[in-house]
Each structure stands twice: as structure tokens, then as C-alpha cells.
Amino acid sequence: MNAIVESGGSGKWLTFWLAGEMFGVRVEDIQEVLMQQPLTPVPLAADHIVGLLNLRGQIMQAINLRRRLHFPLREDDGPSSLMVIKQQEHFISLVVDDIGDVLELPAESWRLPPDTLASQHRSFVFGICPIDDHVVLGLRVDSLSGESDRAAQKES
Amino acid sequence: MSGVESERDPETLALFLEESLEALQRIESLMLDAEKGSLAPAAMATVFRDIHTIKGTSAFLSLKKIQGLSHVAETLLAKLRDNTLPSQPHHFTLLLQVGDVLRQLVDHVKDHDSEGEIDVEPLIANLLAALGPPPSAQPSLPPPPTKLGEILVHKQVITPAQLEEGLQQQQAMQAPANRAEAIDSTIRVNVAVLDRLVNLIGELVLARNQLVQMVKVSRESNANTQGACQRLNLVTSDLQEQIMKTRMQPVERVFEKIPRMVRDLCKSTGKQVVAQIEGNSTEIDKALVEAIRDPVMHIIRNAMDHGIELPQVRAAQGKPVVGKLAVRASHQGGMVTIEIEDDGKGMDPKILRAHALKKNVITPEEANRLSDRESLELVFRPGFSTAEKVTDISGRGVGMDVVRTHVERAGGQVELDSVVGKGTTIRLKMPLTLAIIPALLVQTGQQRFAIPQVDLLELVYLNEEQTRTAIENVRGAVIHRLRGEILPLIRLGDVLGLSNAQTVRHDGGTNIVVVAVGSRRYGLVVDAIHDTEEIVIKPLHGQLKRLACYSGATVLGDGDVALILEVAGVAMKAGIDISTQRAAFDARAEEDARRQRQSFVVFKAGNGAQCAVPLAVVARLEQVQTAQIETVAGMEVVQYRGTIMPIIRPEAILPIGKPASQRAEQLLLVFDFGQRVGMAVEQILDIVEVADDPDGVQNDIPLTLGQMVISGKTTLLLDVYQLVRKLAPQFVQERRRGRERLRIMLVDDSTAMRAALSGFLRARGYDVIDASSGDIALRELRAGRGGRIDAVVTDLEMAGLDGFGLMEALRAEKPELPTIAWTFHEDPVVVKRALAAGARCCINKLNREELMAALKDNGVISKRLVDSGRAA
């Protein structure tokens, strides 16, 4: 009935937590999940790029998703997880608070995000999917390493 | 001619096809001219030679139709050339037709590996008819069908369409089988496979680096793991080297087009230019061969169009009427340098400035401020069109800026030197290979960065006192005077905004990495300088790609990621002001004399004696742990980059005393004579430029080039080669053993023939050095650059100095050097002429076994051959 989520695929979503919100990414887009890794900072890069990491010889950037989505930063220094996401020709990894369960979310249960969602978040969320007592925010993975954001670069 | 079929190796065939198409193009244009009138003797000789080469090579490759047709055409050409047949326009029309049919045949061979069904007989008949009254010329009837298919068609069993279809199927089935037979010592590999291999070896090198690092620091590792690790290390290095070799191609791939191009440009511009090409066999990564092709061609077009003057202008200026265009390729310090030099009018800085002003490339203020040297750089600015008027040669709106962009994208650099009235030299410095590069690791704050070795000029360390006194602050710009030149300094930590970077080292000293950006240089101040490492460049993605300070990232031996610095981007970010460099440029402006100056590495050896060696012989400076130096068979060696490197100590033979104490770390100057040799020294002092003044050198100490005064001190100039020979005789021995293969110089203007024969000779255990003309061969032999040569095998028909001339010259200059003529000619007159010119024997190109027999005797006369030649 809608074009929010293309049908097909397994219909399985990996959920994760970020600032108390539950997000979801198609399992097909996930390469793997890692525990904290040593990162090499990239001076002059945008704030949300927390560094480069070496995954079996592949170099990828790690993006702090809280920063990227303009969420408040964590106050505690607790452990975080890295989700490695397949992009067109390379990988990126996302630093998130915690990894949740894999849920089966049928395509027809997705809705457009409510108008009340803050505009700075809207470009990263393509839709929401209500489950039980809360909602899963669908993360638009292709928007993360793009250059659409004004914070893309500090360097002029 | 038996057994030739199986020797049609793909490489030779490809070369033949390329060469033939080129020759046919040439023939066509000459014939078109000739149709209007007659052909100049020189043009006739060119056509004759081209057809002759096609005939010979096609015979060699068993391409019967091409051979047959070109044979008859050659006969006609010979008659026309010798005027035994007065030339008429229809002769040239016929020859044009020959060209067309040959092209069809060659195209067919190219696409289908066979000559196809093209009928050459009618044309051959016409040619024979044109040759004059043949004794019993019969009107040419269609020959009776002899092939099974044709008989079937004739008898109307099948239709011609069915026959065609059947033949095609048959061909399709046979083709792979034929190819399999052709595979002998070479195979074709898809470049994509090689690229994949290169990527994989890159990963393997990284994994190896990590493993070696881990074993080094691990406390649990025992001798076994270390041994296995060491073996893995060596094998990986070897594998890497071999795989990189598979991608190497001679720059000839680019250079071979030059003579033709120069000739064409001469024709269209009315200029007279001789192209001199050297270093054809210099090898470079395949991707880089492609990358340099357009820039080189563009620079040559520029030189021909704007550089070299018209003959009358040159004559008026007292220059030789014929201009010179030299194109040289060579290996220098891990890079391939391609130098294109013309003796034209050079670039006038004043005109360049005026031009740039007119084109709005610079402002009037800038124009006033630019030094002459900086003005030369203007040609690299976008929008600067070098053409006074747009010509079809180089005024196509693309200029040197595109050349620079292309070269830099491939990791290279462009340098330009020009003297008004004397000429222009443009140098392209390209890395040998793209994927893996040596880089220096530096540290600032907690972070390590890689600086590609190609960007490095030198490392300078200022101690605490020098840091206080030798770093000046000129209105906000921090500079250091390095040997009289002003070097702007950039603190890497500041540029990158690293707050935790040190401002000075804990010992109060300063580490400066001097880097080059084009012709500019600056010093990068870092906290620490680590090792050099072979790194694999990985691109950055997304937003990071836009950060101009980095060209990529790499995984280091310990698994950490390091960013690779782009020194041009760092300079830009730091806002290096060109004006602060003006003094430096002005100081170097009168650089004419620079070519007579030589750079020396000055160092202390033995008990503090000041010594020097030419910078050109030093491949690297290295520091190794003294504990790593082992003694094997009385010779000190160290494992270095996957091989065993002998170490020599000059004090062992020179009167310079023993070092006062042994250090934990040993400094080495590494020389590269094909194999690396390290020389132990105590301290590197400086790199100085010294005027090449033979009178200033006193030579009374053996194994040295003499003594001279450098920086106020008497300095011993070491003769590196003699020292190595004396102190590392095993090493020299080894070289000699490796040299027992006979070295043949092969001279032939056909690339295909050279490839075919040199492959054959190498397979039979000879070393081959080839030359594409008599002139080049003679020059190489005179210069002795190829080392010892045991015999020369030369073609006879060549442009410029031909085989006869070459052999005559060699007989006069090097009578001990045997020469062998090899030709397709069986004409006794030619054979006699070759023997008269000094050939030990004259051998048919198709008969390679006979050549082997002649060479077996180390090129000494094979009596039988000479006798048979004389008898004929």
C-alpha cells in the first residue's frame, strides 16, 4: 500500500538503541556488529566522524550516530557498539549505544514519520513502525556519509 | 619453415598487427601523394622498408596471404626504386590497393586470428601484370576449386551460405585449440586478474606486517615461530616483487609512437626535427604507461609547435637548422623520470607574464611580484593557453594544466626548466607502481601519519640550541634557513588542530621533514620521525575524501590505521605564502650552472673523518640495530627488505681510523648496484652541492676519487664502486656468475621482430639488449651503458644508420665485437654486401637455429655459414 519500505528481502530488521530511542536497519544492510574498536582520529573531519578503523584490512570511517543525528551526547562513559553497514562500494560503521533484537517488521506496518519529528532528524528517518508499546525509527542509511549536512566539514 | 606455426605467440602477433597497421597508414599517405606525381627516393625507401618488414614478419608468422601479396608488391617497389621500371600513376594506385587489401587481411587476423577468405590472387595477378611482360602470362581464369567446401558448392550439394556457416562453425571450434598450441612460454592474462592479484598481495603484505610486528613484541614466541615468520616475510616480499613485475611494461609502449608523430608534425609544420629516444626498455607499471601517454604526447606536440623554430628562423639565429627533440626515460631513486628536451626558443618569462595578464590568469600586482622562475609555472595554470594562435597541433584548449593534473593524479610530478633561446626541458617523475608505496611515518601528538617517500626531500634535526637560533619568525611566518635557502616551516599539529601536539621535543630539538610541492618546498615540523614502511594506499570515502590534507589511509604493521598526508593540501591549509619563498627562488634563478654542480652526501666515517659520496649513488639512508648485523663467511650482513645486504666498512681499507665506540644503532648508506650494499658510517652531516671542478680534487689515495674541501674541511671523496669491489668480493663474484650469460645486442626497427627474437634468445639463455635503430645501437655501445656486449645481431634495412653502416662503424671502433647480419634477404648481392661491411655471417631471419649455431661459438665465424654466403 505504500512506498515507505520496499517489500522483498527477509523483512527482518536489526534494532539498536540511541538516546533512548529504538532504531531499525534492514539486516541485509548490516555487515557485522563489533564491540568497541581502536579508532584513529581524523583531524579536521566533521565532529561526527570519530575516526577510522581497520576491519581485516578494510579501512572504514566510524560515525558517532548521536552526533550525526544531533542527539545529546552520552553522559556516562559506558560501552558502545559498532554496526558495520554496507554502502554502495564501501563500508561505514556506526557507533550506537546498544544493539537490540532482530525483529520481523512487515513492509505494510511502516508509516511515514509524524510531522512532529524535529526537522534535523527527519532527513535520517524514512519511517516509523509501531510495535507493542513503542515505535521503531527506520534509519535512512544512505544519508549518513553523504555531504548533505551543513556539518559535513569544518575545513573551508 | 616447418614448425613456425606453433611459434606464433600472441605477443609477437599483436606487435606485428600494430606495427603493420601503422606502416599501412604510412604507406597510404605516401601513395596518395605519389599518385599525383612521383615518389621521392626517401619516401620510396620508407615504403619499401615497410612492405619488406610486413613481408618478412608475416612469413615468420605464417600469414601466407599477407606474405604473398607483400612479396609481389615488394618486387614492384624494388623495380620502381631502382628505375628498372619507369613509375606511372597506376603503379601507385595498385600499391594503394595492396595497402587496402593488406589492411583487410591484418584486420581479419586481428579479429579472427586468421587471414580469412579474402582473395588476394586477382590483385597479385594485376601486380604481376604491372611488373612487365611475364614470360607466359595467361589470362587469369578462376582457378578450379580445390577445397572440399568449394567442390560441394560447385556440384550444388550445398549453397554458398551453408558453406560459410559451416566454415564459421569449424573456425570457432578450431580457434581455441590453435591458441592452446600457441601457448608456449608466455600466456595472456586478463589485466583484471593482475589487478586483483595486486590488491591481494597488498592485503597479504599488510597481514605479514602485522604478524611480524606481533611476533616481535610477543613474549611467547619461540625460535620456531620466529623462523616461520621470517620465511613468510621473505616469501611475501618476493611474491610482492614478482607480482608487481607482471604489471611492468616498457615505456616503449608510449615512445614507439613518437618518431611517427614527430615526422607527421614536421610535415604539417614545415619544421625539421630529429627525435632522439633513449631508455625505451625502462619499465613502469601498466597503469602508469597509460597515465603518461597523453601528457608525453602533449608535451611533444607543444615542443614541436611552440618550442622548435622554423628552419629559416633557426638558421638566422645560428642554430643548427634541424631541431633536436630528446626523450629519455630512466630509473632514478625509485622513480621513473621521463625527460623531454627541445633545443627550441625556450619560454620567455616576460612573455609568459604578459600572456597570463592578458588571459586574466594573474593580476597586475601578481605579475609584478612573480620571479622569472615562478613565471614559468604560469603555464600550468588553468586557462593559460600557450598558443599564440590556435593551431590544429596543440591549440586545442587543453594546456599544461591538464598535463600536470593527469601526472599528479597518477602520483607523479612535473618539472619545467627553460632557457630563452636555448630550449625547454620538461621532466615527468612517476612512481614505479601505484598500489604500494614507501612512506615515512611521522608522529604528532599521539597520532602517526604517513608521508609518501616521493614527497620527501630530506630530514633535518635541529638541536636545542639551533631550535632557538635557527628558526626565525618573519612577520608571523616561521622559517628556517637551510643551506642559505629560506624554508617556510609548518607545524603539522597546528595545521591539523591537534591540541595535544608538542611544540618542541622533550630534548628541546626540532624535527623537520622537508617536502616538495612541485618546485616549492617547505618544512613540516613533527614531534617524532619513525621508520619508513611500505604502505598500501586505501582511498577515503564520503566527506573525508574532501579533506585536502589527506590522500588516503593505510593499515600499519601493528594494525593501526594511519592517514597519508597530502603535502600540497597541508601547504594549502597552512596558507603558505608563495611570496615568502621568493628569496629562495631568486637565489636559485641563475640555475644555469647547476647542471655542472653535483650533490654529495657528506658524512663522518671511521674515527670522525669527513667523507663524501655523490648523492646519486645513494639509494637510501638507513639505521639498523647493531645487534641485527650478523657475520656470514667473514662478511657483515644485515637482513634488509627481505634480502641479505652486505655491509662494508670504509675504515677496513682506508686510513681513516676505527670508530671510537660501537653504538647500539648503525647508520648505513645504502647503494644499489642491482643488489643493495650498505656502507657503515658514523654520522650524516649534510647534503651539499659542489661545483664539478676537477682541478679542486687532489687524488693520491687509492679507492677514492680524491680529496676536496667541503664546508671548510678536507673531505675524502669515496669511490663507492671500487670500495664495494674490494670489500665485498663475494658480491661482485655473484654478479659475475650471473653474468655468464652472453649478452647480445639486437638491432631491428621492427618491434615485433625484436620481441620475437629477444624472447627466443632469452629462452635460450642469452641476455638481450635491444635497439630500434643503428644510431641508437651505436650510441649505446659507445656509451657502454648496456655493460659488456658479446655480439651484435643487426637487421640490414633500417631508417637512419642502417645495418651495413652500423657494422662498418663497429668494425672500425670495436673490431673484436662480432656482428651478425640477419635479414629476410636471400639476395646474394645483399649477403655479400653485409659480409663486406664486416658481418661475421648473414642469416635469414626465418632460420633462427642457424643464428643459434652462430652464437654458440660466441659469435666467432661459423665457417660453414660464411662459406655458403660467399658461395652464393
DSSP assignment string, chain A:
--SSS-S-S--EEEEEEETTEEEEEEGGGEEEEE-----B--TTB-TTEEEEEEETTEEEEEEEHHHHTTPPPPSS----EEEEEE-SSSEEEEEESEEEEEEE--GGG-BPPPTTS-HHHHTTEEEEEEETTEEEEEE-GGGSSSS-SGGGBS--
CA distance B609 to B678: 18
Q: Which residues contact B88 (CB under 8 A, 6 or more apart)?
A: none
pLDDT of residue B592: 33
Question: In chain B, which residues have their Cβ closer than 8 Å to the Cβ of A44?
Answer: 496-497, 547, 549, 573
CB contact under 8 A, A153 and B447: no
pLDDT of residue A96: 92
CB contact under 8 A, B541 and A44: no
- Which residue among B207, B447, B550 sits closest to A41, beta carbon to beta carbon? B447
B249, B360, B400, B432, B760 from B289: Cα distances, Å: 7, 35, 19, 10, 25
Distance of CA B744 to the CA centre of its chain: 20
Buried b (16+ CB within 10 A) or exposed e, A40-66: bbbbbbbebbbbbbbbebebbbbbbbb
CA distance B844 to B826: 7
C-alpha cell at position B627: 645487534
A48, A100, A103, A142 from A17: Cα distances, Å: 17, 7, 14, 19
pLDDT of residue B674: 57
B594 pLDDT more than 60? no
pLDDT of residue B339: 93
CATH number at residue A131: 2.40.50.180
pLDDT of residue B450: 95
Number of domains composing chain A? 1
- Which residue among A40, A44, A57 sits closest to B447, beta carbon to beta carbon? A40
Q: pLDDT averaged over consecutive 10-residue blocks of chain A (156 residues)?
A: 62 90 90 86 91 82 90 79 83 91 88 80 85 88 62 37
B66 pLDDT more than 70? yes
B48, B362, B757, B766, B825 from B845: Cα distances, Å: 18, 61, 9, 17, 9
Q: State the residue for C-alpha cell 611474491.
A: B239
CA distance B547 to B538: 15
C-alpha cell at position B238: 618476493
Rounded mean pLDDT, B840-857: 76
Q: Domain of residue A76: give its range.
A: 12-145
Q: Tell me which chain B residue has its CA closest to the CA of residue A48.
A: B543
B324 phi and psi angles, rounded to 5 deg: -120, 135
Smallest CA-to-CA distance from B31 within B109, B103, B118, B89 is with: B89
Q: Alpha helix (H) ranges present in B393-445?
A: 400-409
User: What is the layout of strands, in order, in the sheet containing B456-462?
Assistant: B456-462, B510-517, B520-526, B485-491, B477-482, B471-474
Rounded mean pLDDT, B533-550: 81
C-alpha cell at position B776: 641508437
- Do residues A99 and A83 make contact, with C-beta atoms less than 8 angstroms apart? yes
**Residue B494, helix vs strand vs coil:** helix
- What secondary structure does DSSP assign to B141-183, as a single string? PPPPP-SHHHHHHHTTSS-HHHHHHHHHHHHHHHHHHHHHHH-
How many other CB atoms are there within 10 angstroms of residue A112's CB atom?
12
Q: Return the higher-pLDDT residue of A98 and B499.
A: A98
Question: In chain A, which residues have their Cβ closer than 8 Å to the Cβ of B554?
Answer: 59
Q: Is the Cβ of B270 closer than 8 Å to some Cβ of chain A?
A: no
Q: Residue B46: enclosing H or E segment and its boundaries? A: helix B41-60
CA distance B641 to B237: 8
Q: Return the higher-pLDDT residue of A87 and B795.
A: B795
Minimum mean pLDDT range among A47-56, B427-436, B741-750: B427-436
- Which residue among A89, A92, A155 sits closest to B547, beta carbon to beta carbon? A155
B838 pLDDT more than 50? yes
- What secondary structure does DSSP assign to B811-871, as a single string? HHH-TTS-EEEEES---HHHHHHHHHTT-SEEEETT-HHHHHHHHHTTT---HHHHHHHHH
CB contact under 8 A, B538 and A59: yes
Would you place residue B340 in the very low, low, confident or very high pLDDT band (cuts 50, 70, 90)? Answer: very high
- Cα dihedral B365/B367/B372/B377 (nearest 10): 110
Rounded mean pLDDT, B712-735: 71
Rounded mean pLDDT, B343-347: 88
Rounded mean pLDDT, B188-205: 79
Q: Which residues contact B450 (CB under 8 A, 6 or more apart)?
A: B439, B440, B441, B442, B533, B535, B554, B556, B562, B563, B564, B565
Question: B549 CA to chain A: closest CA distance, Å?
Answer: 9
CA distance B156 to B806: 61
A7 phi and psi angles, rounded to 5 deg: -75, 180
Q: Tell me which chain A residue has its CA closest to the CA of residue B499.
A: A43
C-alpha cell at position B64: 601466407
Distance of CA B707 to the CA centre of its chain: 36
Torsion over CA: B658, B661, B663, B667 (sign): negative
Distance of CA B653 to the CA centre of its chain: 38
- Which residue among A46, A52, A90 sits closest to B543, beta carbon to beta carbon? A46
Question: A94 CA to chain B: closest CA distance, Å?
Answer: 14
Q: Does residue A2 lie within any of the structural domains?
A: no
CA distance B451 to B565: 5
Q: Does residue A151 lie within any of the structural domains?
A: no
B66, B829, B835 from B871: Cα distances, Å: 31, 11, 12
User: What is the residue type of A136?
Assistant: V
Distance of CA B791 to the CA centre of its chain: 24
CB contact under 8 A, A90 and B555: no
Rounded mean pLDDT, B151-171: 72
Contacts 24+ apart (CB under 8 A), B256-260: B256/B280, B256/B751, B256/B772, B257/B297, B258/B296, B258/B300, B258/B327, B260/B22, B260/B26
C-alpha cell at position B153: 558448392
Q: Tell me which chain B residue has its CA closest to the CA of residue A43.
A: B496
Q: What is the ipTM of this complex?
A: 0.85
Beta-carbon-side half-sphere exposure of residue B813 (alpha carbons within 13 Å): 12
Distance of CA B665 to the CA centre of its chain: 37
B328 pLDDT more than 90? yes
CB contact under 8 A, A147 and B498: no
Question: A148 CA to chain B: closest CA distance, Å?
Answer: 10
pLDDT of residue B565: 93
Smallest CA-to-CA distance from B669 within B709, B719, B615 is with: B615
B433 pLDDT more than 90? no
What is chain B's mean pLDDT, rounded? Answer: 77
B860 pLDDT more than 70? no
Buried b (16+ CB within 10 A) or exposed e, B533-544: bbbbbbebbbbb
CB contact under 8 A, B555 and A57: yes
Phi-psi region of B64 (alpha: psi -120 to 50; beta: other; left: phi over 0): alpha
CA distance B571 to B549: 8
A23 phi and psi angles, rounded to 5 deg: -110, 160
Q: Is the Cβ of A55 closer than 8 Å to some Cβ of chain B?
A: no
DSSP conformation class of B209: H
Pairing of strands B447-452, B561-565: parallel
Q: Tell me which chain A residue has its CA closest to the CA of residue B205.
A: A57
Q: Residue B213: enclosing H or E segment and its boundaries? A: helix B191-217
Question: A154 CA to chain B: closest CA distance, Å?
Answer: 10
Would you place residue B185 in the very low, low, confident or very high pLDDT band (cuts 50, 70, 90)? Answer: low
B781 pLDDT more than 70? yes
CA distance B494 to B487: 17
- Do residues B846 and B4 make contact, with C-beta atoms less than 8 angstroms apart? yes
Q: Does residue A62 lie within any of the structural domains?
A: yes
Report for B305-309, B357-361, B738-742: range of highest mean pLDDT? B305-309
Torsion over CA: B330, B334, B521, B378 (sign): positive
Question: A68 CA to chain B: closest CA distance, Å?
Answer: 13
Give, to the nearest 10 degrees, the angle between helix B803-813 and helix B774-783.
20
B399, B749, B764, B815, B859 from B856: Cα distances, Å: 54, 25, 11, 19, 7
B612 pLDDT more than 60? yes
Report for B90-104, B205-219, B305-319, B825-839: range of highest mean pLDDT? B305-319
Q: Does residue A4 lie within any of the structural domains?
A: no
Rounded mean pLDDT, B33-37: 64
Q: Which residues pair with B842 in a beta bridge?
A: B821
Q: Is the Cβ of A101 closer than 8 Å to some Cβ of chain B?
A: no
C-alpha cell at position A121: 532528524
Rounded mean pLDDT, B648-672: 83
CA distance B532 to B290: 29
CB contact under 8 A, B543 and A49: yes
Q: Does residue A56 lie within any of the structural domains?
A: yes
Question: In chain A, which residues have their Cβ closer than 8 Å to the Cβ of B449?
Answer: none
B127 pLDDT more than 80? yes
**Residue B793, helix vs strand vs coil:** strand
- Do residues B482 and B493 make contact, with C-beta atoms less than 8 angstroms apart? no
pLDDT of residue B506: 64
C-alpha cell at position B719: 669511490
pLDDT of residue B342: 92
Q: Does residue A55 lie within any of the structural domains?
A: yes
Q: Is the Cβ of B435 closer than 8 Å to some Cβ of chain A?
A: no
How many other CB atoms are there within 10 angstroms of residue B547's CB atom?
23
Mutate to test the interface with A, among B443, B561, B573 (most CBs of A within 10 A): B561
Q: Return the higher-pLDDT residue of B161 and B125.
A: B125
pLDDT of residue B796: 87
pLDDT of residue B221: 67
**Residue B566, helix vs strand vs coil:** coil
Question: In chain A, which residues have their Cβ closer than 8 Å to the Cβ of B547?
Answer: 42, 44-45, 153, 155
Minimum mean pLDDT range among A132-141, B205-214, B794-803: B205-214
Q: Is the Cβ of A46 closer than 8 Å to some Cβ of chain B?
A: yes
